[in-house]
Structure 1
Amino acid sequence: MDFAAGGRLEVRITAADVGKRVSVRRVVQEPGDPLKFTDTVGVLTSWDNGVLMITRRTGEAVRIEESALVAGKVVPAAPARRRGPSASYEELARVAARAWQPVESERLGDWELRAASGFTRRANSVLPLGDPGRPLDAALTAVRDWYGRRGLPAYVQTATGAEGTQEALCAELAARGWTREVSAEQRVASLAPVADLDADVDGVRLSRSVDEAWLRRYQRFQVPGPHVLKVLGAGPSVWFASVPGAAGGPCAAIGRCVVDGRWAGFMAVEVDETVRRRGLATKIMVALARRALEEGASAAWLQVEAHNGGALALYDGMGFQLHHAYHHYREPGGAV
């Protein structure tokens, strides 16, 4: 924190700094406890009626009483935490959306409303890249009505932690009672080092379509209806990888890759728990990466839930680095 003349802490932010990244210190004291101070760094998303809302990189919204402030200042944007290819949030969000397409969609200003009969939140959520063309409350009402007509809960997909992301929207949704159900990381890497990993890929089968054995290994649905097959099969250039399992049974390992210009997106990488830690996930990734290189891709991305320690360790070893976090906010009181 900065000190004012004479060595005293000073609050150097005002309501005019809403939208900027700030660092604040506040006093925290419970009855009977000694005086304590705590620091918060994030985007100042609102300052109304004596209350500040600061959204951290993780998407957590912190409520701070103005009267508790003892210091505060505007700070530079967070340094890049990746060694992979440079990309804006919007570029990656659009690439990811093309790799996991809904069955139906509709525009609401610059927002895209997406639905696929409930198969995955990514294909059944709003992608809010820009202005919905109406006040936020009116936009959220339209969103809830659109999903309600389809018998689906309304979700809004937001992001934090990269330039152009949506800390302010996270705070607005939370203030309106929307619940953040899932948070995950979008990671990026150079593609060639993944393809160059030492892995015997002779046993990996690549195909433009899925078969029954691949679908039986995939764990994200109960019945593979036409909406599931449409989502899995859609994208600029889609490849499926598999390692055969027991005769007549599901695959031992699977994966999916979508090549889109310079980007190769990896998803649906799953391995039978009885044969894990044998390098099958690495083989799947390497085989798909080599095919993507042949199609002209040079950069890689994937999405992984933050609590999936095994997957994070695998991708860390391949050079994938955090680009941003994304979150799904569910409407208050929405139908299950």
Structure 2
Amino acid sequence: MEISASGRLVVRINAADVGKRVSVRRRLDPRDTRGEFTDTVGVLTSWDNGVLVITRRDGERVRIVESTLVAGKVVPPAPARRRGPSATYDELARVSSRAWRPLESERLGDWELRAAAGFTRRANSVLPLGDPGRPLDAALDAVRDWYGARGLPAYIQTATGAEGTQELLCAWLAERGWVREVSAELWIGALAPVADRAEGAGVVLAREADAGWLARYQRKGVSEVALRVLGSGPSVWFASVPGEGAAPAAIGRCVVDGRWAGFAAVEVDPALRRRGLATEVMAALARRALTEGASAGWLQVETDNTQARALYGRLGFDAHHTYHHFRAGH
């Protein structure tokens, strides 16, 4: 917290600091001048009518009454990662988008509108990297019209928690009635340690998802649209560990794109979990990616998937940012 020369806490932020990363301390009970305090760090996304809104790393918006502030200051951007590869949000957003391509897309200024007949939000949402080329409300109207013409709900994919992410856009969408439906994290890590973790013995790699792979895939009844999205990307590989039945014991998918290898759909037969099969799959895919020149890996994981998070943590991955899908309100 900011402390003056006299040793008193001071508030050194104001409405002109909207858009900056700040740290504030406030009283929990506005009526108790000597009671408990709490600290909040995040991007100051608005300051109107005596109320501040700070968007935290995980996308949570904290409303703070100005009169409860006891200290506040602008702080540097989130510190760089201490391990693993360095990356900007824009780079990762573009790489992850190329690994999961829609069937059609259209530019709205620097925004990309994506549609794939409703198969997953990622392939049916706007990727807003930059300026839409018109005022925000006009851009949102154009987004609604574009998805409405295709019989799809309008989604915008945003992010929080890393330099270059979109806390302000998240706040503006919420103010306009857009609803945050889904949030997850994108993790990154070095590729070589993944390849070294297991032999990858028994893992079969293929360029296409066969019937067996699809039988293990969590999304049942995969359509032709889904197959096209699954097969999209610069260099796509599907991994399978043969099982006793029609479905493999474990599967995975990897897209190699320059220095990056993106992992997805790592799934194991529930009866065969905790035997290292997921690690075997990822190790085999990592070795394949290394031969194609990749050196870093990324993956997406939901915040409540404790088993997957534990696995990826052991393999050296760590969270880079949190991404969100906002749906247009009615």
Specify the TM-score bucket, using the shorter chain as the normaliser: over 0.9
Residue among 221, 226, 245 paired with 2:224: 226
Aligned residue pairs total 330
Q: Distance in 2 between matches of 1:159 and 1:81?
A: 17
Output the aligned Cα RMSD.
Answer: 1.6
TM superposition shift of 1:5: 3.8
Residue in 2 that maps onto 1:133: 133
- The answer to whether the Cα contact below 8 Å between 1:82 and 1:321 also exists between their aligned partners in 2 is no
Any idea what SS the aligned residue of 1:97 has?
helix
1:82-135 CA-to-partner distances (Å, cap 9, x unmatched) read 511111110111000000101111111111111111111111111000011111
| Distance of aligned partners of 1:226 and 1:291 in 2 relative to their CA distance in 1, 3 Å threshold | same
Following superposition, the deviation at residue 64 of structure 1 comes to 1.6
Indicate whether 1:16 and 2:13 are aligned: no
Distance in 2 between the 1:106 and 1:64 partners? 39
Match for residue 213 of structure 2? Answer: 214
Structure 1 residue ranges without an equivalent (≥5): none
Alignment correspondent of 1:250 = 247
Query: Structure 1 counterpart of 2:291, which letter?
Result: E
CA distance in 2, matches of 1:242, 1:316: 22
Q: CA deviation at 1:46?
A: 1.5
Q: d(CA) in 2 for partners of 1:317 and 1:25?
A: 35
SS of equivalent to 1:163: coil
When normalised by structure 1's length, the TM-score is 0.94
Alignment of 1:45-84 (within 5 A): 45-84=45-84
Displacement after TM superposition at 1:244 (Å): 1.6
Amino acid across the alignment from 1:142: A
TM-score normalized with structure 2 length:
0.96
How many angstroms does 1:38 deviate by? 2.0
Deviations 1:211-267 (A, max 9, x none): 1111111113x42211101101111000000012224x2221110001111111111
| Alpha-carbon separation, structure 2, partners of 1:227 and 1:182 | 22
User: What secondary structure sits across from 2:278 in the alignment?
Assistant: helix
Structure 1 consecutive aligned stretches of length 4 or more whose deviation exceeds 6 Å: 30-34
Q: For residues 283 and 7 of structure 1, what CA distance do their matches in structure 2 show?
A: 57
The alpha-carbon deviation at position 310 of structure 1 amounts to 0.4
* Structure 2: stretches of 5+ with no match in the other structure: none
Q: How does 1:128-207 map to 2 (within 5 A)?
A: 128-199=128-199, 201-207=200-206
The superposition leaves residues 136-159 of structure 1 with CA deviations (integer Å, 9 ceiling, x where unpaired) of 111111111111122211111111
Distance 1:82 1:148, change over 3 A: farther
**AA aligned opposite 2:280:** K
Residue 130 of structure 2 aligns to which amino acid in structure 1?
Answer: G
Instruction: Give me the identity figure in percent.
Output: 72
Q: Give the conservation status (yes or no) of the 8 Å contact 1:23–1:73.
A: yes
